[in-house]
Structure 1
Amino acid sequence: MTNEPMNAAPDDDVLLMNAIRNKDKKVFETFYKKYYRQLFVLAYRYVGNTEAAEEIVHDLFINIWNKASQFNIQYSMKSYLFRSIVNASLNFLKKEKNEAAKQRGYINLQQPEDPEEDRQKEEELLLKKLEEALELLPPKCKEVMYLSRFGKLKQQEIADQMNISLKTVKNHLTYGFQKLRLELGKSGAILMSIFLLLKMILR
């Protein structure tokens, strides 16, 4: 659509637009059949969707029919049609992209977090609290607990490495467990702490 003079367009296009302005349905139907397929293929190349391509082409023809009096083709009807389809297709893609982004944002707000991800976060927090509680233990007890919890050593291996008796290792683990249970209980992490510590004591 333009305000430039109509005589820039070929004579047959001028006659076509005059006929459409006069609501000549037969001329418009011929015009529609002549260009529909080419325009549909062009739109489909951009949007990759049959229904969307059909809607884009139909909208263009409806717009031409309804607003014929406002059209002022500069060069040729064909170039105008093709340019209009390209622009409409690009606008469609832009709109679809924006809608998809909004939908993703809405889904992210509505959907709860992944239960597995929640569980991992909770366990990481509890492990952090466990490490902080371990730092409060006496040095020897803390070393035994660390070798058991993080070093993955069995009780006899800890006794051999620290040059202490197996009974002393067990005493350190029992004492450490009691102190950690008390400390972790203050933060509400007692059940998980019991599970974690039982795993390292009852090897």
Structure 2
Amino acid sequence: MNKPGLSEKNKNTDQKLVKTLKKGDVFAFNELFHKYSQKVYNFSIKHLENEEDVKDLVQEIFMKIWDKRKEIDANKSFNGFLFTITLNLIRNYFRKKVKDRKLVNKWLEETEPYSDSTKLSIEFRSLEKVVNTIVEQLPPKRRMVFRLSRNEGISNDDIARRMNIQKKTVENHLNLALRYLRERLQEQSFLVILFFVLFY
């Protein structure tokens, strides 16, 4: 049985937005910006030393998406496109901005094999498998709550009704699941952490 990956609902929503984005639709661009910009910020602020640099980075990432909108394949994952642009621009910022050379060297060494977009597309799929493997280690009920929320995009209220539990119990399961996943992800590479922050 295949394990569920990123939410099909989210994929379909992104696909519709990308199709209109390719035509120059500003509303679609704003929707994608509001959906993902805070996640890019949250990841970047942990690794860059200046908040203004992080804000500049987020703006640059989404300006790049706007500039390259006609190159996006609406039939493929927007997540992969965003992941590629984000990774490559963060690599550039690390080179220029981060003073901790050990951290820079670690980042560049880990991500160098994936600076090529084709290799990164393959890596994107393997990253999803890594995160799914960690999710599988959650207790059964907690794992079910997490997957219903993150993979199927179901609201906490609907999860509570479906599983016949309190909404507060759903929230507790999600908080504990995310805490566990963050702890486990600290053992993983920058790529896995970036993937998780952007898409979960």
Taking structure 2 as the reference length, the TM-score comes to: 0.39
User: Which is bigger in relative contact order (C-alpha 8 A, separation at least 6)?
Assistant: 2
Taking structure 1 as the reference length, the TM-score comes to: 0.38
Larger radius of gyration: 1
